[in-house]
Amino acid sequence: MSSSASQSLIPLSHLSFFPNLVRFKFRNQMTSNNRLQTEDIAIVVSRILAFMTVHSTLNEIELSYLKVDADFIQKFSAVMSSLSGLQKLVLTLTGRISLADHLQILKAGLQLEKLHVSVDSSIYENQEVGLTELDMYRQQIELMKSEHGRIKDLSLNTELFEIIIADYLARCPFLEQLVVHSPPTVSSAVYQDISNVIKTHCPRLKHLDIRTVLMGEVPQAKLILACLPSSAALYEERSGLESIATRLYGSTTDITLNAMLAHQTTLTSVRISQGKGITATGLQRITTSCTHLKSLAVRLIFGDAIPILMDGIANTQWECTKLRSLSILFVDNCTITGREPATQYLQYLYGQIGTMTELETLSFRMGHAGWVPMRHTFIDCLGKLYQLRQLRVFGFRKEEASMLKKHHIEAMLQSWPKLEQLAGLLEDFRTNSLAQWLIESRPDLDLSALNDRLG
């Protein structure tokens, strides 16, 4: 029997010994109106460290939003050395973490399967690393050998990202998942170094998540292309990326999109959120090329200056027939003149979604697009989605609420026998009489308006 301890459930002062504890999660929820004094912070941290030290069975540790002092990393590294079974570590810290401190984390983390480190030092001045400290870093990093690395899942979000990331990736031969979450000031030369290291040292990389704000199209494309099988002839096991998550900020998305589609035979998950998003043409390229896709989340933009060539789209069919999860956020930049082609495309889009018979989750957020076709047009196209479990639809015109009748809901429930969630379709579901009837007849059905995470 294994167990876990969470600060949200158990007050820190009440924590004692759990003989089979494998997972410890601590999340600091102190607000700005309830700040701890420095001496209180030291007491809290010492309790956390003492608690972890006596639980040698720990397999996973997550410490979130913990404010730390200058001695924390040294003490924490000592604790980690006593936890021989530790495999996963997630640290989200607030405070000044020196380059030497980073080295201790990296050295200890090399033996883990998962290492996620995020350091929020925004309340401090930017660190200036001296030559002496850099020399010490270079000497110590050379002592870390790639044959000792076990990391499969890596994320380093720190202001010293530019110094450490390429060196550390070169010591991660088993890496399968990488989150690139760097400061916006990182130069393009660093991303080139990362791409080169991925080509030659990370042959097993299958999942790439780019979260860096304002990264250009070319650096993103180079990172994605570095994961192609042809990029590393020495590594026969490299097959290509299975999942890509990114943000698009450039004036054109073609460069990044072309790089993504170079992995079309292996991709099962694509996520394009925030930033500029993609056009209808870009969405068509993904859905007609990535035949193994199971999850797709995109930010789709419409605008008068963005052509939608329906003559070339209307007769094409989506090829991603194995799709199980689809999330679309619409961004409306159209005037009246641009809405007719966008409306035509949406009607086509509804029909294509209706052919994805393995869909289990569908999230549709219209944003400010109050001009979209009526909601019953959307619903009518989904009648054959017999596997649907979650439907989240937000942003249809409120004046159309009266058009949705009881027999529509009954038909939906009959078409979707596995439905567990129907969120957003009924505005003001707590007072809507139709929703009240649904609550009484299907109390197991979740009507809450959950966030689709597309922003």
**pLDDT tens digits for range 29-48:** 764 445 555 556 667 788 88
Average pLDDT, the chain: 81
The per-residue pLDDT for 303 is 72
What's the pLDDT tens digit per position in 339-349? 777 778 888 89
pTM score: 0.87
The per-residue pLDDT for 397 is 56
- Tokens describing residue 218: 């070319």
Task: Identify the residue with better confidence: 303 or 7.
Answer: 303
- Tokens describing residue 295: 């999850």
Give the C-alpha separation, 446 to 438, whole Å: 10
- What is the longest distance spanned by two Cα atoms in the chain? 75
The per-residue pLDDT for 38 is 56
Residue 351 has pLDDT above 60, yes or no: yes
Interacting residues of 154 by C-beta distance below 8 A, sequence separation 6+:
114, 115, 116, 168, 169, 172, 175, 177, 178, 179
**For 240-279, where are the alpha helices, taking DSSP H only?**
254-261
Interacting residues of 328 by C-beta distance below 8 A, sequence separation 6+:
297, 298, 300, 363, 364, 365, 454
- Tokens describing residue 122: 């925004």
Q: Between the CA atoms of 134, 88, 272 and 380, what dihedral angle is there, to the nearest 10 degrees? A: -170
For residue 140, which of 104, 97, 112, 116 has the smallest C-alpha distance?
104
Q: How far is CA 158 from the centre of its chain?
A: 18
| CATH code of domain 32-394 | 3.80.10.10
Instruction: Say how many Å lie between the first and final Cα of the chain, rounded.
Output: 39
Residue type, 292: H
Residue 188 has pLDDT above 90, yes or no: no
Question: Of the ranges 137-141, 258-262, 360-364, which one carries the lowest mean pLDDT score?
Answer: 137-141
273 in Cβ contact with 263 (< 8 Å): no
Instruction: Give the Cα-Cα-Cα angle 284, 287, 292 (nearest 5 degrees).
Output: 165
Mean pLDDT for the stretch of residues 418-435? 75
What's the pLDDT tens digit per position in 66-105? 887 778 888 888 888 889 899 999 999 887 788 888 888 8
Residue 13 has pLDDT above 50, yes or no: yes
Interacting residues of 447 by C-beta distance below 8 A, sequence separation 6+:
421, 422, 423, 426, 429, 435, 438, 439
Give the C-alpha separation, 71 to 89, whole Å: 19
Give the C-alpha separation, 96 to 118, whole Å: 12
Interacting residues of 312 by C-beta distance below 8 A, sequence separation 6+:
none
Mean pLDDT for the stretch of residues 361-381? 67
Give the C-alpha separation, 129 to 375, whole Å: 58
The per-residue pLDDT for 224 is 95
String of b and e for 350-381 (b: at least 16 CB within 10 Å)?
Answer: bebbbebeebbbbbbbbbebebbbebebbbeb
What's the pLDDT tens digit per position in 279-333? 888 899 999 999 999 999 998 887 766 777 787 788 899 999 999 999 998 877 7
Phi, psi dihedrals of residue 297, rounded to the nearest 5°: -135, 120
Give the C-alpha separation, 297 to 324, whole Å: 11
Question: Of the ranges 135-149, 158-172, 181-195, 426-440, which one carries the lowest mean pLDDT score?
Answer: 426-440
For residue 297, which of 364, 248, 393 has the smallest C-alpha distance?
364
Task: Identify the residue with better confidence: 250 or 209.
Answer: 209
User: Element (H or E) spanning 67, and its range?
Assistant: strand 60-67
- Tokens describing residue 348: 């086509």
What's the pLDDT tens digit per position in 393-413? 876 655 455 566 788 788 888
- Tokens describing residue 210: 């780019």
Residue type, 101: D
230 in Cβ contact with 256 (< 8 Å): no
The per-residue pLDDT for 9 is 45
Give the C-alpha separation, 257 to 277, whole Å: 11
Q: Between the CA atoms of 329, 331, 337 and 339, what dihedral angle is there, to the nearest 10 degrees? A: 10
Residue type, 347: Q
